[in-house]
Structure 1
Amino acid sequence: MTHALPPFGRALCAMITPFTASGALDLDGAQQLADRLVAEGCDGLVLSGTTGESPTTSDAEKAALIGAVREAVGDRAALLAGVGTFDTRHSVDLALQAEKAGADGLLVVSPYYSKPPQDALEAHFREIADACGLPALLYDIPGRTGTRIEPDTLLRLAEHPRVVGVKDCSYDFLAAQKVLARTELAYYAGCDEHNLALYAVGGAGYVSTVANVIPRHLRAVLDTFDAGDTAGAARLQQQATELVELMMSAGLPGAVTAKSLLNGLGLPAGALRAPLRPAGDEAATGLRTAYDRLTNA
């Protein structure tokens, strides 16, 4: 399958936000990590998403993070800013701030906790998309937000010139294919176990938490598929399954597992902000063992 050029590249990392031991924003660490991720195959970086602990960073910190990472990577990668909140006005303010700070696009999650009906959800996304000139990737993750972006809502929003794609964590593979077949929206897998499967049916690529630690391996899955070696791509995807499961489905948030591994590897990550807490010794050991097994294979 020939993939159309996606709006933000194919291999995107949902980057952690490095903090110092005292919990302050570590901009030097963010620059070092961003540079490494791009050098190892990431086309784009999503800043201040869930993995970036966005609920615990201030608006000023979010802007500073965009500016620092832009300085580090230049035009080598697209930068998307997470601007979704449960307050439409606040999300609009964050979108305007991201545009001014140098972001290339927006990641806009469904409003969480308040559970708006579909007409209110659609109006929320339209107001944000209307507010600035940046293209928007809608983030459908009902397991966290409590609200699904229904396929019919996505079909209507696809008509908006600045709604260009979806980060899909709906776990509804049929719905994703239906929207893909009827729109030009770029579909990015938001669950690492779906990276290859969604790409194989026309998805744009992935927005990956696991890419914080194995960016080159995950990029190789897509590159191998594009080279026509579908069996090789499947083999690479399967090799990552143990680590994907431990990082994303073992009861700890991705920010916790990614920071555990990065800290253990001597890479910028640092502390977590409450209410998140570091992985325990048993979990950290299991993560490192799986990582070593994959990278030494």
Structure 2
Amino acid sequence: MTSTSHPARAIFGSNLVAMPTPMNPDGSLDEAGIGAVAKHLVDSGCDGIVVAGTTGEAPTLELVELLRVLELVRAAAGSATRLVVGVGTNHTAKSVQTARAVAAAGADALLVVTPYYSKPSQAGVIAHTVAIADATELPVMLYDIPGRTGLALTRETLVELSHHPRIAAVKDAKGDLFEVMSVMAETGMAYYCGIDELNLPYLAAGASGLVSVMGVVGADRNRDLITAIDAGDLPRARAINDAVRPLTIALMRTAPGVVTAKAALREIGVIAHAAVRAPLLEATASEVAVIRAALAADGQPTGNRLLTA
């Protein structure tokens, strides 16, 4: 499969990384760190960055901070990198306001998570999502992650939303591959894997790309995995997947991805601090040890050169 087979790649990219938002120990934005992470991701091979998603600690970012993060990421990543910005909340009017603000600030696309906590009906989910999609001219990627929201997008809802001219893709963290394949076949909606442990089967099933947390330190391997699948080289794809599995385990099964991503970036010297905002807690010494061991086994330098140089 080529890029022509995946038209969504021209809109969203194929090798996306869920970018953490670097912060200082006092909780303020680490502006130098934000630029450094964005540059690191592009240099590592990603062609799209998700700004202010779950891994970006979106629930704790004020709108003025989100706009500043977007400005800094754009400056560091350049115009060729697609910036997909998280705007979804469980407050429709607030989500619409945020969508309009990031569109004016230069976002390429919107990421809209299913409304959490409130548990609206599926009709309510559709109305909420359409209101956000109607607020700008930007393409929309839905974010289906019932483990966090408590509410899945049903197959019928996905089909209904696919009729909207700007709702073009789904970041799927539900893990129902048969539903993924069915919705793609019925609607032409593009899918992006949002579960790093399942990157290989999603791509093999026809997903357009990845939105990866592991990609903060393995975007080059994700790029190679996508290339191998596009070429129909399943043995090489399996080998790449096997090689990156220890990193995936360390980042996805040790602590929340926000926490592990920042700890990993600190370990390889991209950022000076792994601070997170409450209610999250920074990685413990034992969690850092797991991440450090996986990075070392992967051949990546550890020890935070920013602090030891």
**Common fold: TM-score over 0.5:** yes
SS of residue in 2 equivalent to 1:219: helix
Deviation digits for residues 76-105 of structure 1, max 9, x if unmatched?
Answer: 200011001010000000100110111000
What's 1:164 paired with? 168
Counterpart check, 1:293 vs 2:293: no
Counterpart check, 1:260 vs 2:263: yes
Give the distance between the partners of 2:271 and 2:88, measured in 1 at CA. Answer: 25
CA shift at 1:269, angstroms?
6.1
CA shift at 1:224, angstroms?
2.1
Aligned ranges for residues 126-145 of structure 1 at < 5 Å?
126-145=130-149
1:73 alignment partner AA = A
Give the distance between the partners of 1:182 and 1:295, measured in 2 at CA. Answer: 43
What's 2:237 paired with? 233
Aligned ranges for residues 21-60 of structure 1 at < 5 Å?
21-60=25-64
Give the distance between the partners of 1:150 and 1:234, measured in 2 at CA. Answer: 31
What's 1:203 paired with? 207
Aligned ranges for residues 149-160 of structure 1 at < 5 Å?
149-160=153-164
CA shift at 1:26, angstroms?
1.5
Provide the TM-score with structure 1 as the length reference. 0.96
CA shift at 1:195, angstroms?
1.3
Given that 2:40 and 2:270 are in contact with CA atoms closer than 8 Å, whether structure 1 keeps it comes out as no
Given that 1:19 and 1:269 are in contact with CA atoms closer than 8 Å, whether structure 2 keeps it comes out as no
Counterpart check, 1:78 vs 2:82: yes
**CA root-mean-square deviation:** 1.3
Deviation digits for residues 147-198 of structure 1, max 9, x if unmatched?
Answer: 0000110001001001010000011111111101111211000001121211
CA shift at 1:74, angstroms?
2.0
Aligned ranges for residues 12-23 of structure 1 at < 5 Å?
12-23=16-27
Counterpart check, 1:244 vs 2:242: no
What's 2:305 paired with? none
Equivalent residues, number: 295
Mean Cα deviation higher: 122-131 or 223-232: 223-232
Give the distance between the partners of 1:101 and 1:152, measured in 2 at CA. Answer: 33
SS of residue in 1 equivalent to 2:49: strand
What's 1:218 paired with? 222
SS of residue in 1 equivalent to 2:12: coil
Given that 1:38 and 1:76 are in contact with CA atoms closer than 8 Å, whether structure 2 keeps it comes out as no
Given that 1:12 and 1:42 are in contact with CA atoms closer than 8 Å, whether structure 2 keeps it comes out as yes
SS of residue in 2 equivalent to 1:240: helix
CA shift at 1:242, angstroms?
2.2
Give the distance between the partners of 2:160 and 2:121, measured in 1 at CA. Answer: 15
* Unaligned 5+ runs, structure 1: none
What's 1:68 paired with? 72
Percent identical among aligned pairs is 43
Counterpart check, 1:147 vs 2:162: no
Give the distance between the partners of 1:158 and 1:112, measured in 2 at CA. Answer: 21
2:114 alignment partner AA = S
Given that 2:44 and 2:219 are in contact with CA atoms closer than 8 Å, whether structure 1 keeps it comes out as yes
SS of residue in 2 equivalent to 1:206: strand
SS of residue in 2 equivalent to 1:214: helix
Change in 2 beyond 3 A, CA 1:15/1:269: farther
CA shift at 1:256, angstroms?
0.4
